[in-house]
Amino acid sequence: MKPHEIRMKTLEDIKNDLLAAEENLRTVRFQLVTAQLENSSLLTRAKQDVARLMTIIREQELGIRKLGEPVMVAEGEDK
């Protein structure tokens, strides 16, 4: 999920997504250790998802960026 899509959610929804992302990361790590993980890029993606959610929560706590604010997307980028 892209950051501007996450920022359109409520804080509670984002925290629930964070819990789900952390559980997914835990699952991927177990799969890696037990040699069940076929695609190692899933580990990187899971880590990035957790970091992205934590960053958006922290931005909101510090008042850097409010949730639900429209975000400027550079021309040519996907929305």
Rounded distance between C-alpha atoms, residue 50 and residue 26, angstroms: 11
Rounded distance between C-alpha atoms, residue 55 and residue 36, angstroms: 30
Please report, as a single letter, which amino acid is at residue 70. Answer: P
Domain 3-62 matching CATH 3.40.1620: the answer reads no
Buried b (16+ CB within 10 A) or exposed e, 4-18: eebbebeeeebeebb
Rounded distance between C-alpha atoms, residue 44 and residue 59, angstroms: 22
For the chain, what are the domain ranges? 3-62
Q: What is the mean pLDDT of residues 6-34?
A: 95
Q: How confident is the model at residue 70 (pLDDT cuts 50, 70, 90)?
A: low
pLDDT at 1: 79
